[in-house]
Chain A
């Protein structure tokens, strides 16, 4: 019976770390992979990013199939060991890249679901500032439970490609596609400029709408207060105004630099209460 519980017990987190230097205020990047290796682009991107931020890297390999070999404990244990060994080897390559950029590097290996593994890491090390995910990991699932910005490499790549495309067509874009990232300030400025343009367009439209109403008040007050089916007129009017004037107001605040906090993606909900699982479980009748 004891053996049975041991067999089904959640595998203990497997930690393997290289000495982490004491770095009190350096931004910490959590780089997550769910394969034993690390995507080459992800490794170089995160090493470069950590170097620019004068930060440090915590690499996390997650074995999402710890019980892949279902036949026996020996097989499972061997599989985990193989994963761990491969992950450690890949981490050495990654560590070398980080070292080349003078970035302190730590590696962790965990088993289970990626979001749970990331949660566990956050519980132990709440000082992580940014999470970078390898392509294929669903960003939203991680972002839902993590209080810091989460980026997926696929998205970073997409954005870079889009930016470089729009650069080729002569348009300025927020993130430069080549090796000269302009940084957050540049992006913020661009967003504000775009917002200012939009605010101008919607502002003119809103003024036009208001002018139209207030220069024809007699006509409007006659038909808009007739009641009955005409009830739809005021409702439709406010919908139209709320779209045009609402867009103007929204872009206006952005244009003058009043935007949501950068840490908006903080956790606003606790973990959803899971429905109690009442389904019969496959149990071993020993």
Chain B
């Protein structure tokens, strides 16, 4: 059974430029993950594939870097009192089930409509989920920003918390008491999405915020626990089949452990809605990027005609936009953080001068 991939999978030779690229993407992806709880993976997998890494190895190596990164980020944010471990573990377990479900759905689609059908499904999932959820999160972030940064507990979460359905669970750290049954769909959704587009947090974090009712900061931090549980489970499965290229994993980890800590530090400087704003911006840009990739798959399925040059142009545009999404997210985080740091330093100086 094991050793399955060895004959067929070619592990690539690494050059300095590739190492640098992976390190940099790891760093920026880590920065975004540390801040919003997930992200980065959507650029890393296609990024690695563009270097010639086979798809399965790219996914496996990416996942293998994801869980230690999430662990380090979660520990850092736990020190700031932002992580609800109980919530993360409970949602993480149902997310693990969601991942298994997602893999089955993927396999079914692959068997029925082939590779292009599967790719189209993935892109469609990207576009639909990210536009709907991202749009909602963005609207909420704008509303909060308009009202001076004061966020209120979402109405849906409030309604669900009022329903006394056994077993009720109290999450002390988040200050939420809710039935277990309402946490399961969030986990399942995150897992399903993680198995489909590799970034479960795009459902997990909004789910934690709007369905369970925890704050943006707490949701993004607890999502790191969910990502750890999901990533560890996924890595064990991929590693069982010998698909993890530990060199790639370690290079990405080299950058992302710097990034994830910086992102975690960044959360202590910003208001809650900034998390939502960064998340929504990245989600919507990625949605557009995947939208650009869709004609290629439609052409493969003979649902539309497209010249080869247009396909390659759209593909590079799509990948480029994903990188831009990640860079924009990282830029917003760093700008917000350094602005707040400057303000704090000025205040401290003013206080020192007034003594």
Contacts and interface: CB of A to CB of B under 8 A. Distances in A.
Interface of A: 25, 27, 52-54, 210, 213-214, 217, 220-221, 224-228, 230-235, 237-239, 241-242, 245-246, 249-250, 252-253, 258-265, 268-273, 275
Contact of A250 (B4, B65, B76, B344): B76
A227 B4 contact: yes
Interface string B1-27: 111111001010000000000000000
Nearest to A217: B247
A234 B170 contact: no
Given A242-B69, A242-B71, A242-B72, 4 more contacts: A227-B5, A235-B235, A258-B265, A262-B344
B198 interface: no
Contacts of B76: 250
A225 B245 contact: yes
B121 interface: no
Contacts of B355: 52-54
B190 interface: no
26 contacts: A220-B246, A220-B247, A225-B11, A225-B242, A226-B242, A227-B240, A227-B241, A228-B240, A231-B2, A234-B64, A238-B65, A238-B235, A238-B249, A238-B253, A241-B68, A242-B71, A246-B72, A250-B76, A253-B258, A260-B269, A261-B269, A264-B268, A269-B174, A269-B215, A272-B177, A275-B177
A241 B235 CA distance: 16
Contacts of B257: 242, 245-246, 249
Contacts of A228: 1-3, 240, 242
A57 to B, nearest CB: 16
A45 to B, nearest CB: 17
A234 B265 contact: no
A225 B177 CA distance: 44
A265 B261 CA distance: 18
A224 B244 contact: yes
Nearest to A209: B250
A235 B232 contact: yes
Contact of B175 (A227, A232, A272): A272
Given A261-B269, A271-B175, A249 B239 contact: no
A59 to B, nearest CB: 22
A258 B243 CA distance: 37
Contacts of A259: 265
B246 A253 contact: no
> Most chain-A Cβ atoms within 10 A of its Cβ — which of B65, B235, B268, B355?
B268
A250 B218 contact: no
B62 interface: no
Contacts of B175: 269-273
B285 to A, nearest CB: 27
B81 interface: yes
Closest 6 CB pairs of A and B: A227-B2, A228-B2, A227-B242, A231-B239, A242-B68, A260-B268
B281 interface: no
B104 interface: no
B164 to A, nearest CB: 9
